[in-house]
Each structure stands twice: as structure tokens, then as C-alpha cells.
Amino acid sequence: MKKRLKDGISISALLAIAVLLSVAVSLLSIFSVSSVVRTCGRNKADAEKYDSAESTVSEFSKASNYLSEQANAFALTLTEDHANRFLEELYVTRRRESAVLTLKTADFSNQDAVSAIEEAFSYSNQLVKIEKYSVCLTASAAHIENSELIERLDVAVSDEDNALSDAEKLEKSRELLSNESYYSEKNKLNSALERCVIAIQESAEKQEKDAQQTLSFAASRQILLTVFLFAVIILTVILFSVLVYVPMRQYLNGMKKSEPIPEKGVNELRRLARAYNKILAENKKSTELLRHAAEHDGLTRLFNRRAFETFREQLRNEIAFLIIDIDFFKRINDTFGHDVGDKILQKTARLLKSSFRSSDIICRMGGDEFTIIMKHMTPELCEVIESKVDLVKAGLADTSDGLPPATVSVGASFGRGESAEEIFKAADNALYNVKERGGDGMSFSINGE
């Protein structure tokens, strides 16, 4: 085994491995794509399911309103057709019952929606009792001798109401459908239906969010598979190049010593030598670039939290420390979108750089929070700091660049030998005070106050 490892892998074995890896990655890619297709199909089905559920709730509301309309129309016009339509909806069409059953047996798990429509059905039944009695009282006042109608109503006029005159019966019938008690039940019904719709919408939003996460994961997986397949191809090409051409010992010796290697041999080896020498020459530069990338925020180009941790020890004598927070940044993202939110962050970073000194250390801590370390600053220079903050605030209020206006809250503290934690906490408390007052302001913490 050791001898085989020392001799290296054979070209046939290398080719077999490359082919097997390529086939495996290709099969995984096919599976990933089919998974995305299936997910999209489920998303469409789920969207139709939730739309159907909302339509069901709407149908329940229409049925309840229809019953109220027919009862009111009968009380006002004494037209028997309205009473018949009322009974047909109540006992034949039964859209309310159908809606409740549809929602209870729907293919999604949301007990809140089911509970809400059952509650709505209960309130609707209370209204139906009032409406049935109103219809019965109106029929009595109009001397409608339709035994089938009276029987289907299954309600009898009370002795007290039976003693009323026809005009009084009509007046009471109409009053039953317009009094405070009736509309209170109506409001309860509408409130329950609204809760039902909200519960359905929340389920739909959750389902959509889960689906987006699934699609995002599938897309990331597909990218990784593609990159891996590409890496397999590149690796195969490199390994073949290494195994085909012989004079690699010189190159290995030069590489071990981290020294430039001479461009000798065939064209392929010359290219390899040039590539290696270029990599060696750029290594230092690449290291510096990587360090810069690790310590800077990709969006704003400011120092990031990691870099800030290295500056914490500078929170000592004669410094001012500022924490800056964009007010209501989440609302900006929700209203205008994350692209606009990112531009607001970039604009804020530019304004901070242009308004403060080049020696001031400006960091983006994450989200919409920034910090600034200003050296050689004392509490006597508060006005200087405020003037710089005012420049930032004026820039954010300017909408000539097409961005919405924004405001900032600023908390500041001064270092006079305290620990970094104490200075940070003092500035954070000052920022909290500004936020408590509604934001868009600045507060200084001097001597911990």
C-alpha cells in the first residue's frame, strides 16, 4: 500500500475516479432539480388551497348576510318570497354549514381558523334565532296563512307579542333586526370571521416562508454540486498534467523552499512555472487582501465587528465613543425593500466617513448599528461632535438621491481611564435614552451619567 501511494495513482484509476465522481454529481444534480420542481408544484397547490379556504370564509359571510337581508326585506315589504328565500338558504342551500365542514376537513392544519369559524357559526345561529322570530312575527302581522312556511320556521309567537296589534307586531319585528343586541351579535360574527381569515393568512405566510427556505436550500445545494463538479474536472486536468510530464522534482523542490522556479521544459511546464511564480508573488498581496476582507464589512466597506474587537483597547483616555443606530430601519426594509435598506446603510457609511475625521475609527457592528472611536476628544468638545452628527442627519434627510429620508439616534460617552466595557455601556445607555424619547436625537454620557 505504501509503495502504491509512493508511486502515485495510475492514470486509469484517476480516470475511473473522475468519471465516477462526475456521474455521482450529475445524478445528485438531477435529483436536486427534480426536488425543486416538486417543491414548486407543492407551493402552487398550497397557494390554491389557502385561496380556497379564504373563499370558503367569504362564502360563509355572504350566506349569513343573505339571511339577514331576506329577513329584513320580509319585515319591510311583507313579500312572502323573501321569507321563502330565507328558509331555502337556511334549510336547503346551507352555505354556512357547508363552509364550516369544508374548512374543518381542509388539507391544512390550523385549529385557530377552525375554532374561529365554529365561533362565527355559533354567533350566526344566534342571529338566525332572532331572524326566524322576526319572520314569524311579520307573517303573523301580515296574516300569511302559509302552514308550510310557519311549520318550517319552527317558531311560535309568544302570547305577549300575539296580543299586539298588526302595526305593533311589524314595528317589533323590524326593531328586532335593528337593535343594539342584534348588531352586537353581528359584530361578534364579523370579528370571528376576520380572525379566521387572519389565521388562514398566517398559515399561508408560514407555508410560503417554509417553501422559500426549501427552495433556497435546494438552490444552494445545486450551486454546491455544480461547483463540486467543476472542481472535479479541474482537479482531473491538474492531476493528469502532473502525472503526464516528468520533470516535476525540480518544481517540487522549488515549491518546498517557496522560491521561484525556472521556466524550463515543454510549454505546459512553462505555463505551470509561470503560474506558480505568479501565485508566489501574489501570495503576500492576497494575504493582505484576505485580512482586509476579514476586517471590513462587505456592504459599507467600514470596519466590521471583528475589527472593532481589536480596537476596544483604544477605549481609554481622551476618546469619545459613539454608538449610532438608524431609527425604524426594519420599517424601511419592510416598506421599501431590502435593496433600499442596503442603500440607506451605504449612504450612512458614506456620510459618517465624510463628516468625521480620517483618524476616527468607524465600524459597522451589524444590522443598522455603527460605532465611532474619536481620539483626543474630551467632554468640552461635545459641540464639535454634535456638529458632525448634524451633518450626517442632514445628509440622511436629503432625498434628492431618490432614497427615503432616515434619522439616527446617537449615544456618546467619553474615556478617562475607565474600562472598555464601562465606556461601551455608558454610550449604550445614552443611546437607550434617545430611543426612549422616540429617536432622532443625540445624548451624551459624561461621568457615567
Average pLDDT over residues 77-92: 90
pLDDT at site 392: 96
Pull the grid cell for residue 270: 512553462
- With cut-offs at 50, 70 and 90, classify the pLDDT of residue 372: very high
CA distances from 92 to 89, 98, 351, 395, 429 (A): 6, 11, 70, 68, 68
% of the chain exceeding 90 in pLDDT: 33
CA distance 379 to 415: 9
pLDDT above 90: residue 371: yes
CA distance 232 to 17: 9
pLDDT at site 369: 96
- With cut-offs at 50, 70 and 90, classify the pLDDT of residue 65: very high
Closest by CA to 407, choosing from 348, 341, 334, is 348
* pLDDT tens column, 253-274: 767 777 787 776 656 666 776 7
What are the residues whose beta carbons fall under 8 Å from the beta carbon of 379, sequence distance 6 or more?
A: 414, 444, 446
pLDDT above 80: residue 67: yes
Residue whose C-alpha cell reads 379556504 in the numeric block: 53
What are the residues whose beta carbons fall under 8 Å from the beta carbon of 408, sequence distance 6 or more?
A: 324, 325, 326, 327, 348, 389, 392, 393, 396, 439, 440
pLDDT above 80: residue 115: yes
Mean pLDDT value across the chain: 83
Q: For residues 11 and 243, is the Cβ–Cβ distance under 8 A?
A: yes
Q: For residues 124 and 95, is the Cβ–Cβ distance under 8 A?
A: no
Average pLDDT over residues 319-340: 94
pLDDT at site 433: 94
CA distance 182 to 76: 17
Helix (H) or strand (E) holding 297: none
SS3 324: strand
Domains of the chain: 38-210 (no CATH), 249-295 (no CATH), 305-445 (3.30.70.270)
* Residue 379, Cβ density class (10 Å: 0-12 exposed, 13-18 middle, ≥19 buried): middle
pLDDT at site 45: 72
pLDDT above 80: residue 145: no
pLDDT at site 323: 96
pLDDT at site 333: 95
* Residue 5, Cβ density class (10 Å: 0-12 exposed, 13-18 middle, ≥19 buried): exposed
pLDDT at site 2: 47
- With cut-offs at 50, 70 and 90, classify the pLDDT of residue 310: confident
Name the residue type at position 189: L
Q: What angle do CA 284, 289, 295 make, to 5 degrees?
A: 130
pLDDT above 60: residue 77: yes
Q: What Rg value do the Cα atoms of the chain yield, rounded?
A: 38
Average pLDDT over residues 385-412: 95
Closest by CA to 128, choosing from 97, 105, 159, is 97
Average pLDDT over residues 291-317: 83
Lowest mean pLDDT among 47-56, 209-218, 293-302: 209-218
pLDDT at site 303: 94
Average pLDDT over residues 60-76: 91
SS3 321: strand
pTM for the whole structure: 0.44
CA distance 87 to 149: 8
* Residue 60, Cβ density class (10 Å: 0-12 exposed, 13-18 middle, ≥19 buried): buried
Helices (H), 245-337: 249-256, 267-295, 305-311, 329-336
Main-chain phi, psi angles of 433, to 5 degrees = -60, -40
pLDDT above 60: residue 164: yes
Sheet of 319-326, strand order? 361-366, 369-375, 319-326, 408-415, 441-445
- With cut-offs at 50, 70 and 90, classify the pLDDT of residue 5: very low
* pLDDT tens column, 23-33: 776 777 687 67
Average pLDDT over residues 433-448: 89
* pLDDT tens column, 9-24: 655 665 667 677 777 7
What are the residues whose beta carbons fall under 8 Å from the beta carbon of 40, sequence distance 6 or more?
A: 215
